[in-house]
Every structure is written in structure tokens, then in C-alpha cells.
Structure 1
Amino acid sequence: MVPRRLLLVGEGNFSFTASLIDTLDPEVSITATCLQHPADLEGDPVTQENLQRLRERGIEVRFGVDCTQLAHALLSHDRDFDRIYFNFPHCGRKAGVAKNRELLAKFFRSCADVLAQEGEVHVALCRGQGGTPADKPQREWHNSWQVVAMAAQGGFILSDVYPFSCEAMPGYKCTGYRSQAKSFHVEGALNHVFTQSLPFAGSQPRAFRVRLQDRWFSFTEPEALAGKLNRGFLGASSCHPIKTINEELIAELSKKFPLKRLKCSFPLLSQGGTGVLPAETCDLPSDFWISLHEDNLHSESLTGEITQEKEDVFLSLSECALPKNLGQDDCKAAHEGISEQVKLRLRSSFLAHVEAVIHSPDFLPGSMHVLSGPVFRKCHILPFTMPAFHETLLILGLNKSRKESCFESLLGHLKDSLDNLLTRTLLEGSNLSTSVEFILQPNGKDYVIHVKSLNFGPDYPENLTIGTIVTSKIVPHKHQDFVFVSINLDLLAMLVYGISDWRLLWTFDNRFLKKFAPGKIEHFKSYSLYPPCYVHDISFWLEEKKGFDELEFHTVARAVSQDTIISIQPLGRFQHPDTEQVSLCYRLTYQACDKALSPQLAAAMQSQFRKEIQRQLHVSPR
């Protein structure tokens, strides 16, 4: 965005404003402010000379402006600045890091009142003050100003950081607190660019309505899946990177095999089993269950328009999963709007439907059938393990007489197709490498697809499992054996584009999609840099007669934190010597990838988590 209105705060001698006006278009409106009053500046000839230049250029100058209360100094019609500058903020004298953090936090909260929707806040800090990895050297977190965490209190994320160059601003001379002659040391200083993030309130579970024949039903998405249902990433009009990767993969495979793309007509909600994936291949995940309510009271009103509380959802339902007499006998409940409910599970894999595909009339032997769509699984909180992702399932029938040669051909072409995608964004001459391996499983029949990738740095696992290859005879057939290849498109997209956090794929922030040109594959550069981490410990007593489900513990953590808990580490197990009661202790790490997570909000989430595990898991927090 080209800035049209600029606000400069904390100007000492106004030399920055005087230098800036020579680099900008004359049409740009500038408002320069300082904390001092005119009488405080009369004895400084440099300041007076700069003020004279600004007046000659028609620049608005305001005195006595407190940068922590900008809304008080600027009338409502005189706000919406495209850019706010604050160079080398300081509380003055020998104020410690705590005081300067407080200054920054109040400043950012104040900026939120006067900044335009897509505006930027520029804060220049001396070497090491920011506390981010961009500082060379980087200070210890507790000894820095923690600028990203302070900005989060105003709803801002760090979107860019670059060296602050005095040479680029001829005539600029930074001054100390209240224009003291002693200036700051600007060698190694950095300019931090902050932008506004989406609020956390937008990540709450949404209510949906769905019509089945002449009846309306409503449901709320599970809290752990808030914002992940009905996103349409693979739809015809989508330009999401997951769709691009899927199209590229299918195009590569079509060079070797005749392809038949299947419409995703299999139910997202059903009472069926979890799938036909052999237990030897991987542990079957738990399913997400939802309660579907028939909504008689609002049926007529919902047919006309989408209400604020509920939105249309185009989910295919399994009609046989719904009781035929749902709500017919409960007049009182129907009068109240909710007649009855039925619990359905969300689809966890397309492997549950391979038999239906193979036995359908339009199944073509010799063709590779492709089925793509979202799937949902409860899982532990790990960097590359996600509760919602997009699966592409490849179904290929092999003639029994040529099974071995066809299977080897499939593996070779699949490896080449994946390798081609994974090397698209590697820089020329880069030492980084990726390679695809098919790891045979203990049953001697099935494989997992490993990608050896160093793109994400040493803190990430060296090998990622992006899919499975199932050759077990799970569907008996007289003339053919079948191979089922399941690919996690989200993981594949992360590896191809260099997206280190799976949660970014599900963001509602429009800046994410703006990073991608339709159908083009380029390395991703995040708009949220160096998000801070907050660590909290929790310990609790287990009830003697109730077991502890660690998967549910992670699921509750995911829901309460709105996917901001990125790590849950067990710290220890203690058994009381007298009562023999068992206590568990865990360490939780909070970090947001696309939103401004403040220390206060993380602490509030931790407090709510303590209450929820007591309510849902029947434990007693210590």
C-alpha cells in the first residue's frame, strides 16, 4: 500500500521529519508530533531550524502529544494514518527494560486507535533492544524490550525488519529523551514494521445449517476444528496453494497413467467406520463427533437468508445415517426449535470409501482414480501433525499377471512426480536437499512415504511422513489387485512452498493468499515474523476410578488455546506415598503464527485450560 498519510511521534529535534519530506511525494500528508511544548524547544537552534523548514513546506506540527494517548490528541476525523513512525523510543534517564516495555505496550495500544486498516507502525530500536533473532547479537529474552510481545498487546504482528540507515536520511540526528544533546548509538539499529492482525474472536466455532431433502439441520463445528469446516480450498474458484499442489501432482501423474477424477460425493458426516487402512500400516486415529439437530422452528426463516448466527454449509451427508423419524414424535421439543439430535462422525480418510469406488458402475480398470477433499482426525499436538488436512487418494487397479512391473512403474513415477514438486522452490546452488523414500512396513506389503527435508532447519524432524501406499488385499477382486496411495496435501504444500507452520494454511488473513500467484509455485515469505513464545506449566491429580486420555488432553488444549499451543511436554509423574494418588505435570508452549498473541491472553488461555480439563477430563488441578 502506498502511504498517503503519515504520523511521526516522539520527534525530538524534528530532524527525521525534515529529512523524510525530501524523500516523499509532495502529495503525502505528514503530521509530526513531539511530547515537548514549544517553550521547551526555544533554546535549541537545530530544532528551530527544522521547524522553520517544516512550516515552509506546510507540514502539520503538534506539540505536547503523548504517544501513549494518541486518540486524545487526534480528533476522530483526523485519524486513519497509513503509517506511524516512532524512532528510538525511551522513557528517559536510566529507565530499565521493564519501563521501556511498558512504554511500547501503551504506544501500540494507542496506535490501534488511529491507524488505517492496512496501515503500518515503524519502530526503530537500538542494537539488541528488540529481542528478536534479527538482532545481532540477540539479547536474552528477559533482558530485551520484547517488542513483538509488547506490540501484540495492541493487536500487532511483526511483518518486516531491516537495518535502520541514518545515511539514507541526510540531516537526521537522533536525540535523547526530551531532546537531550546525548544521542543514541544507532550502529546495528533495526527498523521494525508492524501490521494489524486478525482478532482471536474470529476463530470461535461457527454454527452451520444444512438442508437434507425438505428438512433443515444445524450443528456447531468442534472447538478443536474452529474455522476448518467448509473452507473450499479445492473448489473451482480457489487459488489456495493446496489446490495448486494438488493440480500439479495430478498433472504429473497423468503423464504416465490415464486419470479419472472423482467428484467428492462421499459423505463428510456419517455413522460409518473409520476406514479400511490396515492396522499394521499406522495407528487408527480417533474421530471427531458432532451433534446434528433438526431445526424445525427456524426452517422457514433459514430458507430465505443466512442469519448472523448460522451460515450455509455444503456438506454431503449420508442419508442412511439419519433416523427416518427424527423429531417426529417430540412435539414439545419441536416447538422449542430443537426436536432431536443424532451424533455423526467427521470423515477421517477416503480409504473408508475405496470399496464403493471400485464397485461403482463407472469404475474403469487400468485408470488411476483420484479422490480429493478434507479429512479430520484427533491427534497429539506436534509440529507436523494436524487435526484437519486435505487428502488426495489415488486408486489403481493392477492386472494380476503384470502386477509387479506395474507396481514398480507406479512407485518410480510417483517418486519422480514428488521430487519434481519438492525441488521447484529450491534456490540454484542451494545445499538443501529433498528426497522421497518409500519405507516398507512390518507387514511386508504396505509403505509409508517419507520425505527427507532440511528446508525447515535443525529444530524440525529430518524425515516427514506425507502419505501411505496400501497394497494389502482389503478389497477382494477376481482379476485385479489394487494399490491405494494416500497423500497429505497440506504437508506436501508446506514442503514445496517452505511454509513452516501448518496453521498458516487455515488462516483467514487475506495476506496469506496474496503471497501466491494462481498456479505458480514460489517460496513463501511469512507476513508474521518471530512470534513470541509463552511457557506455562500445569499439574493435576488423576481420579482413581477414571482413566486419563492423553489424546483428549491434547484435543482440549487445542480447542481452548485456539491452536496456539504448539508443544505439550510431560515433565513428570508423582504418586503420593500415603494416598497413592497420581499427579501428572506438563509444560505447555503457546505461540501464534498469524495473530497477535500477548502474554496476558496466553495466561488467560492457560487459566481457562485448567478449568476445562477439570470439567471435561475429571482431573483436579493442583
Structure 2
Amino acid sequence: MVPRRLLLVGEGNFSFTASLIDTLDPGISITATCLQHPADLEGDPVTQENLQRLRERGVEVRFGVDCTQLPRTLQAHERDFDRIYFNFPHCGRKAGVAKNRELLAKFFQSCADILTKEGEVHVALCRGQGGTPADKPQREWHNSWQVVAMAALGGFILSDVYPFSCETVPGYKCTGYRSQAKSFHIEGAVNHVFTQSSPLEGCQPRAFRVRLGDRCFSCTEPEALAGKLNRRFLEASSCHPVKTINEKLIAELGKHFPLRRLKCSLPLLSQGGTSVLPPGTCDPVSAFWISLHEDKSHSESLTGEKTEEMEGILSFSECALPKSLGRDGCRAAQEGICEQAELRLRSSLLAHVDTVIQSPDFRPGSLHVLSGPVFRKCHILPFRMPAFHETLFILGLNKNSKDGCLASLLNHLKGSLNNLLTETLLEGSSLSASVEFVLQPNGKDHIIHVKSLNFGPDCTEHLIIGNIITSTGVTHEHQCFVFVSINLDLLAMLVYDISDWRILWTFDNRFLKRFAPGKVERFKSYSLYPPCYVHDISFWLDKKKGFDELEFHTVARAVSQGTVISIQFLGRFQHPETEQVSLCYRLTYQACDKALSPQLAAAMQSRFRREIQRQLHVSPR
């Protein structure tokens, strides 16, 4: 964005403003401010010379402006700045890191009310003060000004960082060392560019209206999936990277096999399973459950909240509903009884294979393609996702020609995946990714491994991006079936060099603006060096209730709105007298696209303690 109005705060001798005006378009409005009053600056000839120059150029100059109270200083019609500069802030004299952190925190909170929605805040700090990896060398976190964490208190994220160079503003002379007219060393100084993020508290579970047959039901997405349902990333109009990867993969395989693309149904399933696949393929234990309430209002949910339409191509038949919501339910509805049922969100598209292969339109030898979102409870780990997009390839084969066709499919699939994974590699880059099909103990199924160096040494050596399952149909004596399941989100991360899966689900428009439709290029994050906050928790177990660690992770994901990135088991203790068992865990909080402050992380931890006590029946220590 080209700035129209600039605000400079904390100007000591106004030399930065005087130098900056020569580098800007004459049409840009500039307001330069300082904390001192005119009488305090009368004895400095350099400052007076700069002030004279600014007045001649029409720059507005203000004195006695406290950078922590900007909304009070500026009238409503004077706000809406596109860019705010604060060079080398300091409380003065021998103020320590704690006071300077407080100064930064209040400054960012002050900026939030006078900056445009897409505006920027530029803060230059001396070497090491910021506490980010951009500092060379980087100070210890506790000994830095923690600029990113302080900015989060005002709702800002660090979107860019680069060395501060006096050469770009010739004539600039820094002053103010220990509240004196002396200059200070700015070698290795860093300029930090902050932008506003969407509020973290705004991502709450949404209400939906679902049409099943000729009836309407309302439901609310699970708290652990807030913002994940009905996002429509795979629609034709989408330019989401997951959609791009899906289309490229399908197009590659379409060069070698006849394709039949199927439209995906709603992600709601009844309790029935699938008979074609081996037991446990679609594990109901890790499923999210949705409560459906019959909705006769067609406009509002039972709680009075506005609802969104959860769109699906295929509607459920009456037999897909539990008996309590079948046609007999109409009598209860007429008597004023509100119908309710529990349906689960599918954990894999493999749950639909029976419907596909038993359809009269199923064609052996053709590659049937089904794409859509899936949801499953999982432990909090870097590459485990409670929601992701899956593409399922279904191929029906004659048993006599199975081996040759299967080998052909595997070869073309490996080639297509390898082509995608090398598309964004820089010329001469040492980074690489390779696909490997690992045969399973049953001798017929495979796991699709990708060995990638793109994510650095902390990444697991092999990432599982899919499965290949072969199965003999119960009702198809002379046929067998091959099901290839691909995790599109994980594949997109590898191709675009996206290190955090959560960014794929952001509501921030800046994410999609980084991608051109159908084009693959490396992703550059707009939220750099987000800080981590570590909190420990220990609790006594209820002997009668037991402890479900998967639910423990799910509650943490829900309460933290997805900001818990790691849960580490620290230890187990058993009281020698009561024999009561206590567990201790360490939670790490970090946001990938929003401003997460230390205070907000602490508040989430407090709520987490309450929620595990309520939902898991444990007693926090």
C-alpha cells in the first residue's frame, strides 16, 4: 500500500523527518512529533535548523506528544495514518529492559486506534534489543525488549524486518543517549515493520443450517474445529493452494487414466461403517460428533444466532438419519417436540467407498476421484491436523490384470508427486523431497512417505502424506479395488514450503493474496518470529473416571483456539499414602497468523485448568 499520511513519534532533533521528506512523494502528508516542548529545544541549533526546514516544506510539527497517549493527542479527524515511525524508542537515562518493554507495549496499544486497517508501524531498535532472530547476535529472550510480544498487546504482528540503514535517509543523526544530546551506536540496528492482525478472540464456533432431504436442521461446529467447517477451499472459484495442488495432481494422473470426478457429500455420517475396507480404517473413536436440532425457523438457530448454510452436493436419504429423525419423527414435530440426533464428522473419504463402487455409474478401469474436507481428533503435533482436505482415488481392477494396473498406477502416482514437490525448488538448492511407498506388514497396502529437508532438522524424517489400500469387494467376486488417499494440506505445505499447517485455515486475506490462481511458488509469511509462551500444568486423576489423553489434547486445542502447538508429558507421580496418581504436562502456546500476547496465553491456560476439571474430571494441583 502506498502511504498517504505519515506520523513520526519520538523525534529528538527532527533530523529523521528532515531527511525523509526528500525521499517521499510531495503529496504525502507528514506529521512529526516529539515529547519535548519548544522551550526545551531552543538551545539546539541543529534541531532549530531542521524545524525551519520542515515548516518550509509544510510538515506539521507537534510538541509535547506522548507516544503512549496518541489518541488523546490527536482529534478524530486527524487520525487514520497509513504509517507510523518510532526510531530507537527509550525511556531515558538508565532504564532497564522491563521499563522499555512497557513503553513499547503502551505505544503499540496507542497506535491501534489511529492507524488505518492496512497501515504499518515501523520501529527501529538497536542491535539485540528486539529479541528476534533478525538480531545478530540474538539476545536471550529474558534480556531483550521482546518487541513482538509487546506489539501483540496492541494487536500487531511482525510482518517484515530488515537492517536499519542511515544511507537511505542521509542527514539523519540519532541523539538521546541517556537523555542527552549525545548520539548512540546504531550499527546492526534493525527496522521492524508491524501490521494489525485479526483478533484472536474472534474465532468462535459458528452455527450452521443443514438440509437433509426436505427437512432443515441446525448445528454448531465443535469448539476444537472453530473456523474449520464449510470453508469451501476446493470450489471452482477458489485460489487456495490446497485447491491448486489438488487440480495439478488430478490433471497429472488424468494423462494416464480415464477420470471420473465425483461430487462430494456433506461431511456428516451416521453410525454405520463401510464393509469394503479393513476394520479400523475409519476410526469412530477419533471422530468429532455434531448435535443436530430440527430447525423450523429457516433463519435462526436454537440459540437465536444467525446460521450459515452448510452446502453439500449430495443430500442424505431418510435411511441415513437415525430412526429418531426418520419419518416417524414428523408426528413428534407436530406435537411440538424438538428432534435431536448425534452424527459424526467423517474422518476420511474412505467412508464413502461403498456408495461409490456400488453405484450403477461406477466404471472399472476408470480413476474415480473424490475430494473434500475430513475431520479427526488427534494429538497436538507439528504435522497432525484435526481438519484437512483429502483426495481419494478409487480404481476398480479385474483380478487377473491387477498386478500390472496397480504397478502402473503406483509409478504414475510417484512421478506426479515428485514433480509437484520439486516445482518450487530453487535452482542449485540443496533442499529436496522424495516420495517413497512403504509396503505394510499385510503385504498389499502401502504408506506414502515423503522425506523432506525443507522444514529443517526439527522436522520428522518422513512425513506420511497418504495411504494406498487394496481390497476385495464382497459383492464383486471378479474385481478388486485400489484406494489412494492423499492429505492435500500436508502436500501443499511441502510444495509451497509452508511450515505451519494452521496458516492454511486463516481468515486473514493476506494469505490468499500471496497466491496466483493455478501458480505454485514459495510462501512468504506475513507473521514473522511469533513468540512462544510455556505453561506447566499438573493434576490428580479420578480413579473411577480414568484419563483420556486424546481428549486432553482436544480440550487444549479448543480452549486455546489452536494456539497450543506442543504438549509434552513431564512426569507421573503417585502419592505414597493415598496412591492417588498425578500427571504433569508442559504446554507451549504460539500463534501463526494472529497477535498472541503473554497475558492472553496466560488467560487461556487458566481457562484450560477449569475446563479439564469440568470435562475430564481431574483435579488441578
C-alpha displacement at 1:479, in angstroms? 2.4
Which residue pairs with 2:48 in the alignment?
A: 48
- State how 1:191-210 maps to structure 2 within 5 Å: 191-210=191-210
- Post-superposition CA distance 1:248-270 (Å, at most 9, x none): 00011011111111111365343
CA distance, structure 1, for counterparts of residue 376 and residue 404 of structure 2: 35
Contact 1:538–1:587, Cα closer than 8 Å, also in 2: yes
1:120-199 to 2 correspondences below 5 Å = 120-176=120-176, 180-199=180-199
Aligned to 2:503: 504
In 1: Cα distance, 2:472 partner to 2:275 partner:
14
Q: Tell me the amino acid that sits aligned with residue 200 of structure 1.
A: L
Name the aligned partner's letter for residue 585 of structure 1: C
Which stretches in structure 1 are left out of the alignment for 5+ residues?
Answer: none
1:264 equivalenced with 2:264 (yes/no): yes
Tell me the secondary structure at the aligned position of residue 168 of structure 2.
Answer: coil
1:329 maps to 332
Match of 2:455 in 1: 456
Number of aligned residue pairs: 614
Provide the identity percentage: 81
Q: Which residue matches 1:620?
A: 619
Please show how residues 320-359 of structure 1 align to structure 2 within 5 Å: 320=319, 321-322=321-322, 323-324=325-326, 325-326=328-329, 328-329=331-332, 334=337, 339-359=338-358
Match of 1:309 in 2: 306
CA distance in 2, matches of 1:88, 1:346: 52
**TM, length-normalised to structure 1:** 0.96
| 2:92 alignment partner in structure 1 | 92
CA contact (8 A) 1:12 1:178 kept: no
2:17 and 2:179 mapped to 1: Cα distance? 15
> For the Cα contact (< 8 Å) 1:269–1:317, is it kept in 2?
no
CA distance in 2, matches of 1:545, 1:586: 21
**CA distance in 2 between partners of 1:202 and 1:45 (Å):** 51
Q: What's the counterpart of residue 69 of structure 2?
A: 69
Quickly say closer, same or farther: Cα 1:367–1:17, change in 2 above 3 A. same
Tell me the equivalent position of 1:82: 82
Q: Report the secondary structure of 1:401's partner residue.
A: helix
1:111 alignment counterpart = 111
Q: Does 2:582 match 1:579?
A: no
CA distance in 2, matches of 1:527, 1:616: 36
Please give the secondary structure, in 1, of the residue aligned with 2:543: coil
Check whether the contact 2:207–2:307 (CA below 8 A) recurs between aligned residues.
yes
CA distance in 2, matches of 1:189, 1:277: 60
The 8 Å contact of residues 166 and 172 in structure 2, kept in 1 or not, is answered as: yes
Quote the offset at 1:396 in angstroms: 0.9
Backbone CA RMSD of aligned residues: 1.9
Q: 1:88 to 1:596 in 2, by over 3 A?
A: same
Which amino acid in 1 is paired with 2:447?
V
Q: Aligned-pair distance for 1:109?
A: 0.3
Q: Measure, in 1, the Cα distance between the counterparts of 2:184 and 2:282.
A: 59
How far apart, in 2, do the equivalents of 1:577 and 1:22 lie? 76
Q: Contact 1:565–1:588 (CA<8 Å) still a contact in 2?
A: yes
Structure 2: distance between partners of 1:180 and 1:226: 52
The CA deviation at 1:330 is: 6.3
Structure 1: how far apart are the matches of 2:144 and 2:282? 45
Aligned mates of 1:593, 1:400 — CA distance in 2:
49
Structure 1 partner of 2:476: 477
- Counterpart of 2:411 in 1: which secondary structure? helix
- The SS at the match of 1:103 is helix
Deviations 1:206-227 (A, max 9, x none): 0111233443311100000000
Between the aligned partners of 1:549 and 1:359, the Cα distance in structure 2 is 38
CA distance, structure 1, for counterparts of residue 505 and residue 562 of structure 2: 11
Equivalent residue, structure 1, for 2:365: 366
CA distance in 2, matches of 1:285, 1:247: 32
Deviations 1:433-472 (A, max 9, x none): 1100001111111110000001011111121000000013
1:209 touches 1:217 (CA, 8 Å); kept in 2?
yes
TM-superposition CA deviations, 1:127-174 (whole Å, max 9, x none):
011000111111100000000000000000000000000011110001
The 8 Å contact of residues 265 and 315 in structure 2, kept in 1 or not, is answered as: no
The one-letter code matched in structure 1 to 2:347 is: S
Letter in 1 for 2:260: K
* Contact 1:208–1:311 under 8 Å retained in 2: yes
Conserved 8 A contact 1:152-1:597: yes
Does the aligned pair in 2 maintain the 1:280–1:443 contact within 8 Å? Answer: no
Q: Is the 8 A contact 2:282 2:351 kept in 1?
A: no
Partner SS, residue 471 of structure 1: strand
Deviation at 1:328, TM superposition (A): 3.6
Determine the C-alpha separation between the residues in 1 that align with 2:493 and 2:275. Answer: 26
Instruction: Give me the whole-angstrom Cα distance separating, in 1, the residues matched to 2:562 and 2:67.
Output: 33
Contact residue 280 and residue 442 of structure 1 kept, 8 A = no
Letter of the 2:88 counterpart? F
Q: Which residue of 1 aligns with 2:278?
A: 278
Distance in 1 (CA, whole Å) between partners of 2:201 and 2:329 is 34
Equivalent residue number for residue 521 of structure 1: 520
**Stretches of 4+ moved more than 6 A in 1?**
280-284
SS at match of 1:161: strand
Asked whether the equivalents of residues 274 and 349 of structure 1 are also in contact (C-alpha less than 8 Å), the reply is no
Partner of 2:291: 291
The corresponding residue for 2:531 is: 532
Q: Distance in 2 between matches of 1:266 and 1:82?
A: 44
TM-score under structure 2 normalisation? 0.96
Q: Which whole-Å CA distance do the structure 2 matches of 1:42 and 1:312 have between them? A: 66
How far did 1:280 drift? 8.0
User: Secondary structure at the residue paired with 1:466?
Assistant: strand
